Structure 1
Amino acid sequence: MATNINKEAPNVVTETHFKTLVDSGYQAEVVCKTKATKKAAVWYGIWIIRVVNKERTYEKLLVPARKKLGDDDEIAVRTFKTANGLISFLESMGFTQVNIPMLEGGRTLHALPETPIESSDS
């Protein structure tokens, strides 16, 4: 059976596949790319998310989707520029606790709860 390399680029995962992986036991690793700063009541920085297995032998960067640019495909890593945006994304994926690294190079791991908690959105 031939593999279609256009379905998934090496070392990246789309948001849909990310959700499937974390639902099956993989973890989300939040990586701080720039030191977080506070302006008014909002924390700004640049964070990325990787999906990893517990043994850390499988690691892929989260990407929103491929963008067609001329003859080449360009793959952009999904970045979060505010702590609120990062929290909102992780909550939408089912995470009930979020720990955000604030210093450049900081990393935190997130796992889904073993038993899903009912959403309070009614």
Structure 2
Amino acid sequence: MSWDIEAPNVVTEARFRELVESGYSAEILCQETAHKKGPSYYGVWIMRVVSDDGVEKLLVTARTRTTHSDIKIREFKTITGIVSFLVGIGFSHADVPLEEGQWTALKLSGSDKGGSD
């Protein structure tokens, strides 16, 4: 059974990457205001992809079975984790909201994809 049939409003990392590469925006939503602890910032962020016509899909962790009870929204606990994830899917920059309720949208540009605008 595919994720799209079982839970159409969520995607795993591989599908998230495909959708961003095909033109969807990646949105970072701050769920818990960031705080500095040592040299790093900690908080809680989630991500979703959004199409130009408003279709939204939340990023979830990968599971071996595809039942609703196995679906868990992927949470990022550090800014470093967010940046590493974004770089891993092709972004050359990151704009991370720091206060609860804030969000930001990023879209791969031609230069992020290795081309030119």
Where does residue 58 of structure 1 map in the other structure? Answer: 55
> Equivalent residue for 2:22?
24
In the superposition, the TM-score normalised over structure 2's length comes to 0.86
- Residue identity opposite 1:108 in structure 2: T
Q: Quick one: distance in 1 between partners of 2:82 and 2:19?
A: 18
Look up the match of 1:84: 80
Distance 1:86 1:17, change over 3 A: same
CA RMSD between the two structures: 2.1
| 1:17-72 Cα shifts (integer Å, max 9, x gaps) | 111101110010000000000011100000000000123x200000121365xx86
Q: Which has the higher helix share?
A: 2
Give the match for residue 31 of structure 2.
Answer: 33
Aligned length: 112
- Give the AA of the match of 2:63: R
CA contact (8 A) 1:30 1:49 kept: yes
Could you say which structure has the larger radius of gyration? 1
Higher strand share: 1
| Structure 1 residues without counterparts, runs of 5 or longer | none
Give distance in 2, aligned partners of 1:92 and 1:12.
19
Question: Percent identity among equivalent residues?
Answer: 44
Task: Give the whole-Å Cα distance in 2 for the aligned partners of 1:27 and 1:98.
Answer: 13
Cα offset for 1:7? Answer: 3.1
Q: CA deviation at 1:117?
A: 3.7
Q: Which amino acid aligns with 1:48?
A: I
Return closer, same or farther for 1:103/1:10 CA change in 2, 3 Å cut-off: same
Query: Which sections of structure 2, spanning at least 5 residues, go unmatched?
Result: none
